A = this chain, B = another copy of it.
């Protein structure tokens, strides 16, 4: 199964968080699971905050790219189109909010589950939950803004 990020245009696939072409980055992949979007990521031992726990900046980064990816996936679905069909859909982050509920244990796979709270043509709001071993450790909100169709070509 292809992830939503696998449908990003080549010139927009260099993001440190989710670009398949960024060999230094996280290369996260986001999939549908019913009405939720899911991203899973196993942190490295050095992605630490205080010893034993995951760095909050990594959690914010994962929520960010999970949010923009979910926004693209939700837009294709709402328009009844397959991902990757023209016009290509790509979102950037307008704002990001993370609430840390408790320390996130470092080691196991991190799961991020997203839901669409609001969907408009140019603005999608994604609510996310961060889980490790089934324990909810953080909540995220991403306001995603759709890029103009010519954005990647204009830069």
A residues with a Cβ closer than 8 A to B are 11-12, 14-17, 19, 22-25, 44, 46-53, 55-58, 60-62, 64-65, 92-100, 103, 147, 151-152, 155
Contact = CB atoms under 8 A, between A and B. Distances in A.
Contacts of A93: 56, 98, 100
A16 B57 contact: yes
How many copies of the polypeptide does the oligomer hold? 2
A47 B44 CA distance: 18
A50 B14 contact: yes
A30 to B, nearest CB: 14
Contact of A24 (B15, B44, B51, B95): B44
A152 B50 CA distance: 7
B95 A15 contact: no
Contacts of A100: 92-96
A62 to B, nearest CB: 8
A48 B15 contact: yes
A18 to B, nearest CB: 9
Given A95-B97, A100-B94, A56 B49 contact: no
Contacts of A58: 16, 61
